[in-house]
Chains A and B, each alone.
Chain A
Amino acid sequence: KAGVTQTPRYLIKTRGQQVTLSCSPISGHRSVSWYQQTPGQGLQFLFEYFSETQRNKGNFPGRFSGRQFSNSRSEMNVSTLELGDSALYLCASSTRTGGEVYEQYFGPGTRLTVT
């Protein structure tokens, strides 16, 4: 089975711009979660999508948003970029059995640099 894929792998943007990152989960996985990884804050949960609906959300401002499509692919968007948004953004896909998630499989991440 192919793993989780994320595109693009690297991205450079300017402050004030917006960016969209894409994640394709493992075939058959319907839950997609996003995490932000920075040297200062570590790994932090952004949000989870399942069946095209946001199920959980971390403590991030509204500039961070996401969506999920009917084929389970997910996108996250960051508007009005700030320097502090520079990070590795990781996507994780999961099965959801009985309404719960038991394992998360991570993609390679998108490295976003804001200048």
Chain B
Amino acid sequence: AQSVTQPDIHITVSEGASLELRCNYSYGATPYLFWYVQSPGQGLQLLLKYFSGDTLVQGIKGFEAEFKRSQSSFNLRKPSVHWSDAAEYFCAVGPSGSARQLTFGSGTQLTVLP
């Protein structure tokens, strides 16, 4: 069975600082990997996805993520955080060849200090 681990429940960074959110997955084959962001009272917004090819993927809002097969990781990064980035971030995995039936991590809550 596939699973996703986000080891950091809560991260606090200062505005303008760099950010890295960790995600580790467990899946036998090459998975489809996603990062979503959820603001309070809102649904999930897709930040970026990895299907195959270049292991460094660019997303919206200046986010990027790197797929590392050897470490079973798909960490999300942003070089300079803005106050509006404060939200909850979810990593998700879909079975190989599909984005249906996503399995989500437990989420990382990001607080941005002024």
Contacts and interface: CB of A to CB of B under 8 A. Distances in A.
A105 B47 CA distance: 11
A105 B46 contact: yes
A106 B101 contact: no
Contacts of A35: 102
Interface in A20-75: 31, 33, 35, 42-45, 48, 55-56, 58
A56 B101 contact: yes
B99 A102 contact: yes
Chain A: interface secondary structure?
A: strand
Interface stretch (B62-70, B72-80, B103-111): B103-111
A43 B94 CA distance: 13
A48 B101 contact: yes
Contact of A106 (B44, B49, B94, B105): B44
A101 interface: yes
Nearest to A33: B100
B27 interface: no
Interface residues of A, number: 25
A42 B107 contact: yes
Interface string B78-114: 0000000000001010100111111111110000000
Contact of B99 (A43, A104, A107): A104
Contact of A103 (B42, B99, B106): B99
A31 B100 contact: yes
Give the most central of A31, A56, A103, A105: most B CB within 10 Å: A103
B25 to A, nearest CB: 15
B101 A45 contact: yes
B43 interface: yes
Given A42-B106, A102-B51, A108 B99 contact: no
A4 interface: yes
B46 A100 contact: no
Contacts of A94: 99-100
7 contacts: A33-B102, A42-B104, A43-B107, A55-B100, A90-B43, A104-B100, A107-B43
Q: 8 tightest A-B contacts by CB?
A: A43-B104, A106-B43, A106-B44, A101-B100, A108-B43, A101-B99, A100-B98, A56-B101
